[in-house]
Amino acid sequence: MSAVRRFIGSPEGVIGALLLLVLAAIALLAPLLFPGDPLRIAGRPLLVPFADPAFPLGTDRLGRNVLAGLVHGARASLLVGIAAALVAVAIGAIIGTLAGFAGGLVDEALMRVVDAFQIVPGFLLALAFVSVAQPTLPVVIFAIALGAWTGPARLARAEVLSIRERDYVASARIIGMHPLEIALREVLPNAIPPVLALSAVIVAGAVLTEAALSFLGLGDPNIVTWGSMIAEGRSVLRSAPYLSIVPGLALVATVIGVYLFGEGLATMLARRDRA
C-alpha cells in the first residue's frame, strides 16, 4: 500500500493512469462496442462528423466507420506499445544484468553490441527490419523492440554494478550458488524497478513508431491502426481533415497519458529511495 500512496501523491501520475485506464477499457470493449470487422464498408463515403447519428465521427473515403476504426485502433496501438516495451525491457534487463555482473571481457563484448545497436536510430532499424520481413503485428513489435532494448540494458548494467557487491550477493556466493543463478535470481529482481520506470518512455516511443510505420504503409494491412487511419486521410486532407485529425488526437492523448504515468512511476521510485 505504501507504493500506491506514493504513486497517488503524484498528480501527473494519477492523471496519466486514469487516461490509460480509459484507453485500455475502450480497447478491451472494442469487440462489444463495434462488433465485426472495422475495415468493412458501413455507410456512405465521407460523411462528416455528427451528420448521421449512426456514424458520430463520420466515415472515410470507402464508407468505413471512423469511430469503429478509432476504437479498434486503440487495441493495436496499446498492444504494440506494451508488447514492444516488455520485449525491450526483458532483453535489455537480461543483457545489462549479465554484463554488469560478469564484468571483464563479457561486459566489454556485450556493451560493444549495445553501442552497435545505438549507432542506428531506432526508427530506421525498425523500418529496415519491417521492410525486409513480412509486416505482421509480431514482426512490427519485434522490430520496435530491436531499437529500444539498449536503454534498459545500460540502466540495468548501472544498477547491477552497484548491487553486485552487496552483502546478500556475497552470501549467495558463499553458499555455493552458480554465478548465473545469482545474477538472474538475486541481482536482476533488484535491478528491475528503475528499468520499469523507463518502460513508459519505451511504450510512448513504440506507439509513435508503429503509427509512423503504418503511415508509410509498413503496418499490418489486416489490422486497423491509428497510423493507417492518418495515412488514409492524407489524400483528402483539405476536404476531410477530420480523417487525420481524429486518430492524430487519439495518438497524442495516448502518448501524453503514458508520459504522465511514467512521471508518476519516477516520482514513486524517488520517494521510495528517500524513505
Task: Indicate which CATH number applies to the domain containing 54.
Answer: 1.10.3720.10
**Chain centre to alpha carbon of residue 168:** 34
Cα-based torsion angle of the residue sequence 50, 51, 53, 59 in order, rounded to the nearest 10 degrees: -80
Rounded Cα–Cα distance for residues 2 and 4 (Å)? 5
Over its length of 275 residues, how does the chain's per-residue pLDDT go in tens digits? Answer: 566 677 777 788 889 889 999 999 999 999 999 998 898 998 899 999 998 898 999 999 989 999 999 999 999 888 998 999 999 999 999 999 999 988 889 999 999 999 999 888 889 999 999 988 888 889 999 999 998 999 999 999 998 988 887 888 888 888 888 888 888 888 888 888 888 878 888 988 898 998 999 888 888 888 898 988 998 888 888 889 999 999 999 999 998 998 888 888 877 776 665 55
Contact, 258 vs 207, CB < 8 A? yes
Name the grid cell of 240: 476531410
Q: Which domain holds residue 268?
A: 2-274
Query: Which of 225, 233, 191 minimizes the C-alpha distance to 206?
Result: 225
Residues in Cβ contact with 116 at an 8 Å cutoff, skipping those fewer than 6 apart: none
The model carries a pTM of 0.85
Cα distance between residue 68 and residue 108, in whole Å: 50
Number of domains present in the structure of the chain? 1
